[in-house]
Amino acid sequence: MGITTKDLAQLCGVSRTTVHRALSGVGRINPDTKELILRTAKEHDYRPDLLARGLVKGRTYNIGIVVLDVENRYFAEMLGVIGAEMNRRGYCMNIMLHGDDRELEQKQLMRLAAYHVDGLIVSSVNEGEEYREFLTGLGVPVVSVDNRIADGIPFVGIDQRAAMREVTGRVLERGYERVVYVCPPLAAKGIRNVSVHEERLVGFYEACGACPQIQTVCLNDWSYLEHVKEQLADGKRTAFLCTADSFALESMKRLRTDGLEASRDYGITGFDNIDTLEYVSPRLMTVSNSVGAVATAAVGLLFELMGSGNTDGRSVILPHEIVTGETI
């Protein structure tokens, strides 16, 4: 489209190499010719072709990000933080969405690698040894968040199990007669990587072990909304433990149509602490997934890997936090 170094060379009556020296500031060059070249470059609005540069340098200063979607508050917040970090470091981010599709995720990663992104951050729905080999075969440093993929793949997140154990404990000590564990993503267990949710489930059971007298129910498919109301039919004091704030919000909305209000008629907790909660009352009790800290750490780890070329499977586990609300 625009003007090239070749054109500039011709315009200034010098070689392309000299033009390059002027523009890049590398090597010795006569200040006057440099002046001239820079001036004509500006005049003609010269802009380097980043594809060509990337091709020869082997670096693009682009980072690839692959996540489920962007309408999800959790990812939106994460992308915001990652984006800010990238801007700060002079990198761009290449965001792609996999929409819970395992093969699509893989294709997106391949494509990004083929575009020579310098690093990848992925919230994966794949897992296992084979996938680990695929990832290392990409030849690009990868950091995973949310779901663990396999040993050897760097990971950043919180201790999901402990977090769920703690929040469950807080609920149990309130004397509920029944707790309903709401986790529709578990429906995909064995089909997609849902390790985050499996870990939380373990934490839940660990906490429940201490209170065998309390009845537990598990709603783990996407029709959960049709079953929340019936949990309250017999008048037992019931709490819903939702593994995402969105499930909690949806449940509260649904129950409200039947005149049932959180805290008064039932207990409920969420997970993630998405910012939507600020506007909803009663304030939902939840667990902070520390999304900002996770994003920052993921970027930090990625740049470390990119710098060292060391693709060892180091992981970072960040602290979580129980957010006391009004719904328990």
Partner DNA sequence: ATGAAAGCGCTAACAG
Partner DNA sequence: CTGTTAGCGCTTTCAT
Our finding on whether 54 is near a copy of itself (CB under 8 A) is yes
CB 232 within 8 A of CB 252: no
Q: Choose between 4 and 246: whose C-beta lies nearer to DNA.
A: 4
Q: In terms of DSSP bridges, do strands 238-242 and 267-269 run parallel, antiparallel, or are they unpaired? A: parallel
- Which residue in the set 23, 96, 172, 214 belongs to the binding site for a copy of itself (CB under 8 A)? 96
Of the listed pieces 9-17, 32-40, 52-60, 185-193, which binds a copy of itself according to CB under 8 A? Answer: 52-60
Token duo for residue 292: 């900002």
Of the listed pieces 4-12, 92-100, 205-213, 263-271, which binds a copy of itself according to CB under 8 A? Answer: 92-100
Rounded Cα distance between 267 and 6, Å, is: 70
Our finding on whether 51 is near a copy of itself (CB under 8 A) is yes
Q: Choose between 45 and 234: whose C-beta lies nearer to a copy of itself.
A: 45
CA dist list (Å): 253 to 101, 259, 261, 262, 279? 28, 10, 9, 10, 14
Q: Which does 110 bind (CB under 5 to 8 A by kind): a copy of itself, DNA, none?
A: a copy of itself
Strand order, beta sheet including 315-318: 92-97, 62-67, 119-122, 142-145, 155-158, 315-318
149-153 CB contacts, 8 Å cutoff, 24+ apart:
149/122, 149/124, 149/193, 151/313, 152/312, 152/313, 153/313
Q: Which does 280 bind (CB under 5 to 8 A by kind): a copy of itself, DNA, none?
A: a copy of itself
> Least CB distance from residue 62 to DNA, whole Å?
15
Our finding on whether 88 is near a copy of itself (CB under 8 A) is no
Q: In terms of DSSP bridges, do strands 286-288 and 321-323 run parallel, antiparallel, or are they unpaired? A: antiparallel
Site residues (vs a copy of itself, CB under 8 A): 1-2, 45, 47-52, 54-55, 60, 62, 69-71, 73, 76-77, 79-80, 83-84, 87, 92-97, 99, 104, 108, 110-111, 113-116, 137, 139-140, 249, 252-253, 256, 275-276, 278-281
